[in-house]
Amino acid sequence: MKEIDYSDYFWQDDMIRLRGIRPEDWESQYLGGFETSARLKLECAMELPPTMSAARTFAEENADFKSTNGRIMFTIESLRGESLGGINLNSIDERNGTFSIGIGIDKASRGKGVGTRAMTILLKYAFFERRLNKFNDYVLAGNEASAKMMLKLGCVQEGIRRQIYYINGEYKDAILFGLTKDEFSAKLKENSKEHERI
């Protein structure tokens, strides 16, 4: 196969690329299941121990965008092809123009802007290609990194759902965030102007 020319490719920036999940991605899914604190922040529940067969099934069922649960699933990778995590567009309501995004970054890639970059690419797709208008999501109280990322993207904290999740013997709050298409467009312009000054 010829080498792919990514110079004019929507699904990447100068550091990361989004691609469809492949069956061989099962190993990343499996290994990620052993980081309990990260899984709790993502799923808001204690999961059963990960199994290789469940990870393989997940990768196979979601490969090539064939998910049956309404999620559009991506692998986040470096421009060299190394897996950095996963992201998905979900809870799409075409009538009202709302949606959510789920994201998980591999431990070694956290704190490097990977999540913000992947979110920006997927938000551009949702707002400017799917004609969706409002991103809604929540962050488990105490998940400072995700809350910081939401604010960096331009999201507005819209409220708190108090004591909504029961984890490790305690009830936890969910911090609600939202972002409209207009707010996102303004944030992109602001970031572009800052980048020009550098």
pLDDT at 191: 86
- Partnered with residue 99 across adjacent β-strands are 135
Q: Which secondary structure element, helix H or strand E, spans residue 5, and what is its range?
A: none
How far is C-alpha 58 from the chain's CA centre?
17
pLDDT at 196: 66
Listed as ranges, residues in the chain with pLDDT below 50 are none
pLDDT, tens digit, for every residue of 1-19? 899 999 899 999 999 999 9
pLDDT at 44: 86
Beta strand ranges found along the chain (DSSP E): 16-20, 72-78, 83-93, 98-105, 134-140, 156-167, 170-180
Q: Classify strands 83-93 and 156-167 as parallel, antiparallel or unpaired.
A: unpaired
Q: Which secondary structure element, helix H or strand E, spans residue 125, and what is its range?
A: helix 114-128
Q: Where are the domains of the chain?
A: 16-197
pLDDT, tens digit, for every residue of 137-173? 999 999 999 999 999 999 999 999 999 999 999 999 9
> What are the phi and psi torsion angles at 8 (to 5°)?
-130, 50
Single pTM value for the model? 0.92
**What is the fold, at CATH topology level, of the domain defined by 16-197?**
Aminopeptidase (3.40.630)
